[in-house]
C-alpha cells in the first residue's frame, strides 16, 4: 500500500533490518540501520518502556470514523473514515515525573531545514506545554548526514517567530548545531534521547 498522511508524510511499514552474522554486525554503524526516524524513536521508546525508564508513546493518527461494518464471524471493519487534523505533536509521555512532549522531523537536505516541516498546530501545542513547564523539544534528523539533534522548543520558537519579521524560512545546520544537543546513535536504545532530556532538565535548574 502506498499513501500519504495529510501532512505529506508517506506511510511506510517499519523496515526491519535483515539478520546479520557476527562479523557483519561489527561493521554496523549504530543508528540509522536503514530505518526512518519514526521507527528509530518507536524502537527507543519500546526499550525505555521495557526497562522502566520512561513511558513515551507516539499518538495514534486521528481519524474521523463514519462507517463501520460488523461481519458475523470476523472483526469490525472501518469502511469509511477521514484523516483529522491533529491538535498536538506526535509524541508525549512521562519520565521521572516530568511531562515530555516532542515532534520528530527528518530532512534529506544537507544543511537547510525548512520550517514548513512544522505546522502551526504543532508549534501552538509545544508553546502551550512549555507554558505548563513540560519538557518540550523537537528531534531533527539529517538523513544524508546520519545526524540527530534535539532542539529545545524555545529555540525553535525563535526561528519560527522570526519568519514574521522577514526571517529565514529555513534553519541551517550550523544554527541547529549551535542551538541543539546532538544525539549519538547507539544500540539499546537506538536513539538514547533520554540522555539529552537529562541535560535539558539540568539546564532548566540553572
Binding site for its own copies (CB under 8 A): 1, 3-4, 6, 11, 49, 52, 54-55, 57, 59-63, 65-68, 70, 75-84, 86-88, 92-101, 125, 128-129, 131-134
Question: Residue 155 Cβ, how far from its own copies at the closest point, in Å?
Answer: 19
Query: How many residues make up the chain in this entry?
Result: 206
Q: Which residues are annotated as a binding site for Mg(2+)?
A: 88, 90, 103, 122
Question: Residue 170 Cβ, how far from its own copies at the closest point, in Å?
Answer: 28
Question: Residue 69 Cβ, how far from its own copies at the closest point, in Å?
Answer: 9
Q: Which residues are annotated as a binding site?
A: 88, 90, 103, 122
Taking the least distance from each CB to its own copies, the nearer of 87 and 184 is 87
Q: Which DSSP string do the residues of 117-171 spell out, in sequence order?
A: GS-HHHHHHHHHHHHTT-EEEEEEEETTTTEEEEEEHHHHHHHHHHGGGT--SEE
Taking the least distance from each CB to its own copies, the nearer of 38 and 175 is 38
- For 172-203, b/e burial (b = at least 16 CB within 10 A) is ebebbeebbbebebeeebbbbbbebbeebeee
Amino acid at each position: 500500500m502506498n499513501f500519504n498522511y495529510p501532512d505529506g508524510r508517506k506511510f511506510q511499514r517499519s523496515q526491519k533490518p535483515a539478520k546479520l552474522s557476527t562479523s557483519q554486525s561489527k561493521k554496523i554503524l549504530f543508528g540509522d540501520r536503514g530505518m526512518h526516524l519514526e521507527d528509530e524513536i518507536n524502537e527507543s521508546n519500546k526499550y525505555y518502556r521495557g526497562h522502566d525508564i520512561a513511558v513515551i508513546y507516539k499518538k495514534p493518527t486521528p481519524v474521523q470514523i463514519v462507517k463501520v461494518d460488523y461481519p458475523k464471524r470476523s472483526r469490525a471493519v472501518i469502511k469509511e473514515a477521514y484523516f483529522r487534523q491533529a491538535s498536538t505533536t506526535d509524541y508525549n509521555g512521562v519520565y521521572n515525573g516530568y511531562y515530555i512532549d516532542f515532534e520528530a522531523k527528518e530532512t534529506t537536505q544537507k544543511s537547510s531545514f525548512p520550517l514548513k516541516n512544522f505546522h502551526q498546530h504543532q508549534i501552538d501545542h509545544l508553546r502551550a506545554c512549555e507554558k505548563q513547564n513540560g519538557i518540550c523539544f523537537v528531534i531533527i534528523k539529517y538523513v544524508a548526514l546520519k545526524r540527530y539533534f534535539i532542539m529545545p522548543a524555545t529555540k525553535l520558537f525563535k526561528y519560527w517567530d522570526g519568519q514574521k519579521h522577514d526571517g529565514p524560512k529555513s534553519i541551517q545546520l550550523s544554527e541547529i548545531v549551535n542551538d541543539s544537543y546532538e544525539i549519538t546513535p547507539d544500540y539499546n536504545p537506538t536513539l538514547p534521547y533520554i540522555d539529552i532530556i537529562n541535560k535539558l532538565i539540568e539546564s532548566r535548574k540553572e
